[in-house]
A and B are shown apart, each in its own frame.
Chain A
Amino acid sequence: MTTIITILFFAVAYGMILYLISVGLSVTMGLMGFVNLAHGVFAMLGGYVTVMMMNRLGVPFLPALAIGCVLVAMLGFVLERTLYRHLYGRSELDQVLFSIGLVLVSVAIVRIVWGPLAQPMQLPEYLKGQVSIAGITLPAYRLALVGFGTAVIAGLWFMFDRTLFGARIRAAVDNRAMAQSIGINTSRLFSLAFGLGTGLAALGGGLGADVLAIAPAYPLQYIVYFLIVVAVGGLGDIKGPFVAALVIGLADTLCRYFLPEAGSIFIFAFVFLVLLWRPNGIIERR
């Protein structure tokens, strides 16, 4: 029993990181119809800023995370204004190529600036070791991941469902022309949503730095996971990807525990079949 709870817990922690990084991708892909393979870049940059702040400047974990999140959100905002927006409405192929180009440039720059080596995260003492809850011992870091992730997600969902900004995004996802015609400044909305999405990715990258190691190859190595969360979860939604991230975290973790011989075969077969069964994601929007 303890084992099952522990394993489920690991799965949730893993899913949480995937979700934090991917949710922004879902919103921007749904909102702008942009196939953005470069989303991992923002998670990586968030990770680098966080880890560098901590390791070199001695900034505590949480402020370092916040700084990473804000800086990357600003970068995302600027990139949306200068580059991305010129490619809305272009073919998927163009968008794919453009974002691969962006990935390559970022990989090169990161390599030149921080070197080819992976940057290990030095966790603060309070996040090391074990915490015991109701007789079950859990790793402190994963516990913090789940706690922090839950808080961010709660905030995000509140914003999406209950605030004017969220309503505008939902309106624009559903019908951009109509949203524009009732006076929503979709251009500004896009930039803000893009900044928000990249900021969240940066947060996920920093938080998850101990699981998804921060190295120049990051955006290439993990992009497939972020994309499948979005594809399985459905575009333009923030709850679908949550379910998808949890399911994928669960499937992957259970497979590693019970059937390590299968590697990741199961997860890709699963994604393939789900996409055939529900091309628009497991949770169909009305």
Chain B
Amino acid sequence: MSSAGTLARLMRVGLVLAATMAVPFVAALPASAQTVKIGMILTYSGRDAALGEQIDRAVNLFVKMHEKELPPGVKVELIKRDDTGVNPDLAKRLAQELILRDGVQILTGGQWTPNAMAIAGLTKEAKVPFITMTAGGSAVTLQSPYVVRTGWTLWQTSYPLGQWAAKQGWKNAYTVVSDFGPGHDGEAAFTKGFTEGGGAITGAVRIPLKTTDYLPYFQKIKDVNPDVVYVFNPGGPQATAFMKAFDDVGITKSKIKLIGPGDITSDDELPNMGKSALGVVTMLQYSPAGVRPANAEFVAAWKKEYGADQVPTYFAVAGWDGMRAIFDTIKAQKGKIDPEATMAFLRSWSNPVSPRGPVRIDQAGDIVQHLYLRRVEEKDGRLANIEFATIEQTGDPWKIFNKK
């Protein structure tokens, strides 16, 4: 363990002590052996269940490996619920039931932006801390003082990507995004970054989430013939479908560059995409191919648990760090969860040794992290997202642009 890590941990404990002292009624809770109930709402069924599975596996693995670090007598109980996909009203009802009936003290999961938005609105009144793991819409953390994010925002990945694309000398861009909150964010962020750098947007299309036949949309791109196409989809099977459509209409990637946030070359889908993904440049906070000791450990633990051909994706890491933040706050409060103290702790939480590099949560509840430019290359006979440039410690640009 590095001395920097120990120092950070000491600082964390100090902060929490300060926070807990400010809140006297913590003492009202029973002091004996206790169970911290954590409600986790993820997608366990439907087309995008693969994404939920990544988070679920990460959370289970984390609990298994780190359970013994909890203070003596303190246990965590995960209560899992299935939101079946983008389904905000169901997510909201599940969260409400978890709070009222199951008495959960912490909510997490929050896989989709629409669902996380709906849950976040509820936490404002219920005063239950909500750690959204993989919702990428910037607005989620604005919904309630009880929300923090351990994943990423689309603005984080796509605004710098737009700037980078403009620097490559590309003049015309076309944007293709899934038609929901994060897609709209990604479109706006990339457009801002790219046009500020002198580029022009020659076309934009929003594809409904439930679409199955993507060819006509991509044929249009081929005909417009821009220098670069910015693509966003929520990863998983849809990422492969997009990539295939790109290939099927016969867009030559040497002529029309394909870029986007890392969702579009999600590591678990790379084998399904095959060669068509080669050379695609994306921006993201995590790649399992990243060269960092903490990442090597994480990937090794993952493969040991789930099989040698399995890779953790950025969804898994967001879940992993989310669970770390939850564990840290439980440890800091010795198992007695007070909403205000939890939020104070989480808003200054940091982890210098996350598999994705150093991360912390800022006062707005958003994640601050390194972002990496990556290119899909073949490594040891497998496709991987190889990092080739780093943008250090980026917060959510949207919050900066829209500061009141």
- A–B contact with Cβ pairs below 8 Å: the answer is yes
Inter-subunit contact A3/B219 (CB<8 Å) = yes
Residues of chain A in range 234-286 having any CB-CB distance to chain B below 8 Å: 252-254, 256-257, 260-261, 263-264
In whole angstroms, what is the CA distance A132 to B237 when docked?
28
> Quick check: is B250 within 8 A (CB to CB) of the other chain?
yes
User: In chain A, residues 100-147, which have Cβ atoms closer than 8 Å to a Cβ of chain B?
Assistant: 111, 116-118, 120, 122, 128-130, 137, 139, 141-142
Q: How far is the CA of A253 from the CA of B53 in the complex (A)?
A: 33
Q: Tell me, rounded to whole Å, the shortest Cβ–Cβ distance linking B162 to chain A.
A: 22
Q: Decide if B50 is an interface residue (CB 8 Å cutoff).
A: yes
Residues of A within 8 A of B212 (CB): 211-213
How many whole Å from A110's CB to the nearest CB in chain B?
11
User: In the complex, what residues of A have CB within 8 A of residue B247's CB?
Assistant: 128-129
CA distance A63 to B208 in the complex (A): 34
In the complex, identify which listed stretch (A88-96, A193-201, A215-223) lies at the interface while the others stay far away.
A215-223
Chain A residues near B35 (CB-CB < 8 A) = none
Once A117-B49, A117-B50, A118-B237 are accepted as A-B contacts, the answer to whether A253 and B272 lie under 8 Å apart by CB is no
Whether A257 and B217, one on each chain, are in contact in the complex, defined by CB atoms closer than 8 angstroms, is yes
Most chain-B CB neighbours within 10 Å: which of A117, A122, A142, A221?
A: A117
What is the minimal beta-carbon distance from A221 to any residue of chain B, in angstroms? Answer: 7
Give how many B residues have a beta carbon under 8 Å from the other chain's beta carbons. Answer: 29
Which residues of A are found within 8 Å of B220, using beta-carbon distances? 257, 260
Q: Does A210 contact B (CB under 8 A)?
A: yes
Please give, as numbers and ranges, the residues of chain A lying within 8 Å of B50 by CB-CB distance: 117-118
A211, B211: Cα distance in complex, Å: 10
B73 on the interface (CB 8 Å rule)?
A: no
Contact A116 B240 (CB under 8 A): no
Docked pose: A10 CA to B206 CA in angstroms: 20
Pairwise interchain contact A116-B44, C-beta atoms closer than 8 A? yes
| Secondary structure call for the B interface | helix
Contact B219 A6 (CB under 8 A): yes
Check A217–B216 contact: CB distance below 8 A. Answer: no
| Chain B residues, CB < 8 A from A264 | 208
Are B237 and A213 in contact, with the CB atoms below 8 A? yes
CA distance A254 to B244 in the complex (A): 20
Instruction: Tell me the smallest distance from the CB of B81 to a CB of chain A, in Å.
Output: 15
Known A-B contacts A3-B219, A257-B220; the reply to A120 vs B46 at CB < 8 A is no
Q: Does A7 contact B (CB under 8 A)?
A: yes
Chain B residues, Cβ within 8 Å of A263: 208
Asked if B47 is at the interface (CB within 8 A of a chain A CB), the reply is: yes
Cα of A141 to Cα of B247 in the assembled complex, Å: 11
Do B49 and A10 touch (CB < 8 A)? no
Known: A7-B216, A212-B212, A260-B206. A217 touches B47 (CB 8 A): yes
Interface: A14 (CB within 8 A): yes
User: Which residues of the partner chain A approach B207 to less than 8 Å between Cβ atoms?
Assistant: 260
Are B219 and A211 interface neighbours, CB within 8 A? no
| A10, B240: Cβ atoms closer than 8 Å | no
Residues facing B in A21-66 (CB within 8 A) are: none
**B240:A120 contact, CB within 8 angstroms:** yes
What are some 19 contacts across the A-B interface (CB < 8 A)?
A3-B223, A7-B219, A116-B46, A117-B50, A118-B47, A118-B50, A128-B247, A129-B247, A129-B250, A130-B250, A139-B215, A213-B47, A213-B241, A215-B47, A256-B217, A257-B216, A260-B206, A260-B207, A263-B208
Which 6 A-B residue pairings sit nearest by Cβ, starting from the closest?
A256-B216, A139-B248, A257-B216, A116-B49, A116-B45, A130-B250
